[in-house]
Amino acid sequence: MLAAVACLGGIGLVAATALGIAAKKFAVEVDPREAAILAALPGVNCGACGEPGCSGYARAVAEGRLAPNLCPPGGQQTAEALADILGIKIKVKEPAVAVVICQGGDNLARQKYHYLGLEDCNAAQKLAGGPKSCPGGCLGLGSCVRACLFGAITMTPEHLAVIDRDKCTGCEQCLKACPRQVMIMAPKTVTTHVLCNSHDKGAEVRKYCQVGCIGCNICKKTVPEAYTIDNLLARVNYAQADNAALAIAKCPMKCIRDLVDNNSAEKPGSDETVPAG
């Protein structure tokens, strides 16, 4: 009994001494700032900065390869903390959030076929260009929901992705997961958006969606500086969007919405009938 304890204890002592010496002798020199930066980062490993994870970004910032304001989940606070560690001054990026530019849920937009396969938008997109008739509409199979590390995306019962603007950190992972580019990044301060992603002609859009942009130009005529029409699809000009909300009531297709002020217009679909097929 005693011999066993002494023997194991002895082995432990020798091993500990050896490990201790090795740790001192072979210690890898780390920039102390790198550890400090890593501690200041949110640690979600989302990859939005372009590095594989937070430790990669911390190293890149310490080495001066990347700017300290590239961490969207951390936002302004982290950027300032990182700048303090580096002892530099930086301009903080305006916070951006993802916006789903589609309102065509199952109740408002047609499907060209009934999809029965894998719950994955990218897989569905490969089958005849996806079940939704609209080439740009949200497929609603939740690839973005699974890609979001912050739980900021939910699916409505009509299979439409909805983003919680408070939870969204702007890491852009959902943009990468979406096969149809239904998500765009927009400044968080702008709340008025054109919620459509179809460049088709108006007559075509009306065939498959009750809330699709038909490129009628009315929004641009109402507030010229706040809207641009890009290939039959209206977009809010985010640099001059102060008065964009004025066009909400004018849009005949009700596809311009204020994402924060829900009372700005009646909800789409409330007074519409459900399309057949």
Partner 1 sequence: MKLPTFPGGIHPLDNKATTATKALVNCSLPNELIVPMLQHIGAPAACCVTVGQQVAKGEQIGTAVGPVSVPIHAPTSGEVIAIEPRLHPVGRPLPAVVIRPDGDERWHKGLQGYDPDSLNPDELRQLLQQAGIVGLGGATFPTHIKLSPPPDRRIDTLIINGVECEPYLTGDHRLMLEEGSKIVDGILILRQILGVNQVILAIENNKPDAIDAMRKLCLKTPIEVQPLPVKYPQGAEKQLIEAITGRQVPSGKLPMDCGAVVQNVGTAAAVSTAVRQGRPLIERITTVTGTGVRNPQNLRAVIGTPLSHLIEQCGGFSDDPGKIILGGPMMGNSQISLEVPVIRGTSGLLVLRHQDVSIKKPGPCIRCGQCVKVCPIHLQPTVIALCARLGLIERADSYNALDCIECGCCTYQCPATLPLVQSIREIKGAIMEHKRKH
Q: Which residues bind partner 1 (CB under 8 A)?
A: 112-113, 116-118, 120, 122-123, 126-129
- In this structure, what token pair is assigned to residue 92? 């903080």
**What is the DSSP secondary structure assignment for residue 276, as one 8-state letter?**
P
Contact 60, 51 (CB under 8 A): yes
Paired with 194 in beta bridges are 256
d(CA 82, CA 37): 6
- In this structure, what token pair is assigned to residue 97? 């959030």
Q: Provide the minimum distance between the beta carbon of 113 and partner 1 in the complex, in angstroms, as a whole number.
A: 5
Element (H, E) at 204: helix 202-208
- In this structure, what token pair is assigned to residue 13? 């002592």
Q: Provide the minimum distance between the beta carbon of 187 and partner 1 in the complex, in angstroms, as a whole number.
A: 31
d(CA 144, CA 161): 8
Q: Helices 54-62 and 32-40: crossing angle, nearest 10°?
A: 130
